Chain A
Amino acid sequence: MSKPRLDHTVHPPTRLAICALLAGADWVEFATVRDAVGISDSVLSKQSRVLEEAGYVQVRKGAIGRRPRTWFRLTAAGRRAFTRHLEALQSLAATGRQNGSD
């Protein structure tokens, strides 16, 4: 079996937090992501664009009444990349623990 590899698009803490949040749901609204991750609107826009360009995130714009709302979801490729990245992190953390206990 191939060794799980870190995904450098997912790895930065802000993008990892966005992916972790999106992985738990189907669609998550802009303000919910912003508040949960604890970042500004502009940082979220920038980071989500990177994920969108990598094909990891799908963006849908809509409105409720006159208020525009943006929703994000992880694509199938995004879910795969996030899962592989988590496996790599778990493997790295476990290896460290094993070495530490030797």
Chain B
Amino acid sequence: MTEQPNRGDASAALRGVARQRDLLAARLEPPLWYSGGQALALLVLFVAPGVSQWPGQELSRSVVVLAIVAAVVGLSLLDARFAQAVGVKLGSDRHRAYASSRRATLRAGTITLVAALLTWVVALVISAVAALILGVILAFVVARARQGILAAVREDIRAGRTGTR
């Protein structure tokens, strides 16, 4: 039978819980290979419109679609590999479990959508060079926004704001 803890025991136990939360959050810091891989996949996604419209080198629609699909699949594979590497799975219902990640996900989704639309409009209406430059810039903007989702999850874990599943 466990003895009834006193105030000191309770405080020490709570400090131990906070320490585990910090360790878990620190484990979810994206490693260099993950950030690099993500940046590369996003570069392919956002540079594709400019490359596809390059004067005299226009790519066929199927090649562009294939590159975009490969980048999207690559992003999913990176997420799966990250979960295996750190030994932590956040679950498919993470937006319910980590309330703060909802806003970050919405923000990243909106930025991705606007960025994709913008690069295609610039590539088709203005110029391939402008679309290429814009694509590189927007790839990094989207990468930062996506990193914000994981940062929000880490904040929720540290604060113990992890909802029921």
Identify B2's interface contact among A8, A21, A86, CB under 8 A.
A8
- Please tell me if A59 contacts chain B, counting CB pairs below 8 Å: no
Per-residue contact bits, chain B 28-55, to A (CB 8 Å; 1 contact, 0 not) = 0000000000000000000000000000
B13 adjacent to A96 (CB under 8 Å): no
- Please tell me if A50 contacts chain B, counting CB pairs below 8 Å: no
Per-residue contact bits, chain A 25-43, to B (CB 8 Å; 1 contact, 0 not) = 1111111110011000000
Residue in B closest to A89 when the chains form the complex, CB atoms:
B10
B91 adjacent to A26 (CB under 8 Å): yes
Please count how many residues in chain A sit with their CB below 8 Å of the partner chain's CB atoms.
Answer: 36
19 A-B pairs within 8 Å (CB atoms) are namely: A11-B2, A13-B13, A16-B17, A20-B20, A24-B24, A25-B91, A28-B87, A29-B88, A32-B86, A36-B20, A36-B27, A79-B164, A89-B13, A90-B14, A93-B7, A93-B10, A93-B11, A96-B7, A96-B8
A31 adjacent to B165 (CB under 8 Å): no
**A-chain residues with CB within 8 Å of residue B105 when the two chains form the complex:** none
Residue in B closest to A76 when the chains form the complex, CB atoms:
B164
Secondary structure of the A side of the interface? helix
Secondary structure of the B side of the interface? helix
Query: How many B residues are at the interface, by size bracket?
Result: 20 to 34
**B-chain residues with CB within 8 Å of residue A89 when the two chains form the complex:** 5, 10, 13-14, 17
A92 adjacent to B24 (CB under 8 Å): no
- CB within 8 Å of A: which residues of B? 1-2, 4-8, 10-11, 13-14, 16-17, 19-21, 23-25, 27, 84, 86-91, 94, 97, 157, 160, 162, 164-165
**A-chain residues with CB within 8 Å of residue B13 when the two chains form the complex:** 11, 13, 16, 89
Question: Complex formed: what's the CA distance from A47 to B77 in Å?
Answer: 33
- Please tell me if A68 contacts chain B, counting CB pairs below 8 Å: no
